[in-house]
Chain A
């Protein structure tokens, strides 16, 4: 069960004009693992996530989700198949309250607007679910605050809460801790660590401490290509990775 492959790509390529943002990437995610993607800015990590969530179509190659190709499906259809994602840039509904943000996310996967209208039970379940994810993300004291009035760190946490609210079987998180302070980063790392037994996660993250602590496997990307992919321990000690990526960034993080 644990080794079941949830998502796999074969020769996935995406070009923007002459630029090859994602180049012939073979990549897979197993059930209940956290698979981190590392790489310098412009390596193609966000583009890869966009390909997986169907937000942009690939130039070549294939994405298989539970053995089924997702080619030609819209981002909306893929979302409804159980792939939830967060974006690198904060992407919430600023005029709605924190709770309403989560309710919108939960509702579409629990019978939709018309389901909530038809049955009181559904409506009840939606708001319970929303409360629950706010609890999980420690945002319940902010439930009735307008999202625009929350701090940046809280908005980033709300993003994760919204993905959780959709009860996805696969979560794609694009730099969930970008721009967060040290304390908030630690908090979100704890949160993500607590999710591992229930969720499968693809995580893009720059913070080395968090990645090495959380990830079961790591794929390192450089210039759109996979440099190396393997268990966390292997990447931590890899010469190749150290030279190309880690050497340029944060020596202390791996020391």
Chain B
């Protein structure tokens, strides 16, 4: 069944999550004085994973390829940067709803305009909106032009006057990002398996039929577009906290393209795939950058090879490993020949989580 994966996938994700969550315990042993630098990289990967996951709702689940998703990422970053006071930290309890509210409003306005288009036209209109905001921000005085805006103080997370989590501490911030990613993942997992998610799957498969059944498909697509935008904006806010500034590059089409590559690398439509994709992409990027100055060529080749041999990305490799795939197809043939579909069903059901 769609959006149900073998136990193996949950198992692998759980191990990886535990490993990352336990990094403060083993980081220094393995990386020595480099541990802080690696922690910073890991934090960034967690943020990008949230960003990639949000795009998956549009591209993988709904089947709408956006080349302007960085618009929301940058929007989150700039909302935080511009709303933060210069001489004291803002409260996270205000900042998070503000970022979500602003991105929801922008998502609604842009969504109404782009959601009626499909395929190449959706790509072009989302790209156009992204570039418009990029141009606007990078030429605006109040947003610091091409220099961007610096954030003097990271927002604080307090409860009843005492600090709940010191976000200035790299370790606490790392866990804060991990928590946000987990919340985002659980939310999308619930959403894709819900009645609403079923409608999105239906639209992906056959929008025309959905309309003939009586569904107002534009409304559902708009809601998904806004949700994806809000999640990307939260990721952008975290990124701005991590870097200490908001920069026009964060909302350009280059960033939109990169996150799309993470998605392709990780496996579209699986929600957990893009998380793996973001990590894989950043690790590869780091290795390639330190190997040669011509690293974009290496990255390009990697993406092309990945598309050719792993059409469903890293997630596809976990869901249906090549050595499993052969066994499955022979079982399928037997099933079809004897028409023993009744007995075949419980087997596939029990395999899926």
Contacts and interface: CB of A to CB of B under 8 A. Distances in A.
A108 interface: yes
Given A80-B214, A95-B201, A97-B1, A141 B209 contact: no
B1 A113 contact: no
Interface string A47-90: 00000010100000000000000000011100110000101000
Given A97-B1, A113-B196, A142-B341, A75 B211 contact: yes
Chain B: interface residue count, which band? 20 to 34
A87 B198 CA distance: 21
Interface in A171-205: none
Given A104-B199, A144-B345, A96 B205 contact: yes
A157 interface: no
Contacts of B213: 79, 104-105, 108, 162, 166
A125 interface: no
B121 interface: no
Contact of B215 (A76, A85, A91): A76
Contact of A116 (B195, B214, B345, B349): B195
Interface string B168-206: 000000000000000000000000001110110110111
Contacts of A149: 332
A145 to B, nearest CB: 6
B3 to A, nearest CB: 10
B199 A79 contact: no
Contacts of A116: 195
A96 B201 CA distance: 8
A144 B212 contact: no
Contacts of A95: 2, 201, 204-205
Contact of B201 (A76, A79, A93, A141): A93
Nearest to A105: B213
Given A96-B2, A145-B341, A55 B195 contact: no
Interface in B206-229: 206, 208-216, 220
Contact of B206 (A91, A108, A123, A141): A91
A116 B9 CA distance: 29
A166 B214 contact: yes
B25 interface: no
A239 to B, nearest CB: 39
A155 interface: no
A117 B191 CA distance: 12
Nearest to A117: B195
A166 B209 CA distance: 13
Contacts of B216: 76
A243 B37 CA distance: 87
Nearest to A104: B202
A100 interface: yes
B195 A109 contact: no
A12 to B, nearest CB: 20
B22 interface: no
Contacts of A79: 211-214
A75 B215 contact: no
Contacts of B215: 76, 104, 108
A91 B208 CA distance: 9
Given A76-B215, A109-B214, A146 B209 contact: no
Contacts of A100: 1, 198, 201
A103 interface: yes
Contact of B198 (A96, A144, A166): A96
Contacts of B211: 74-76, 79
Interface in B139-164: none
A92 interface: yes
A141 B341 contact: yes
A94 interface: yes
B333 interface: no
A35 interface: no
A70 to B, nearest CB: 14
11 contacts: A74-B211, A75-B211, A93-B206, A93-B209, A95-B205, A96-B201, A96-B205, A113-B198, A141-B341, A146-B2, A162-B213
8 interchain residue pairs of minimum CB distance: A79-B214, A93-B205, A80-B214, A108-B214, A113-B195, A116-B195, A91-B209, A93-B202
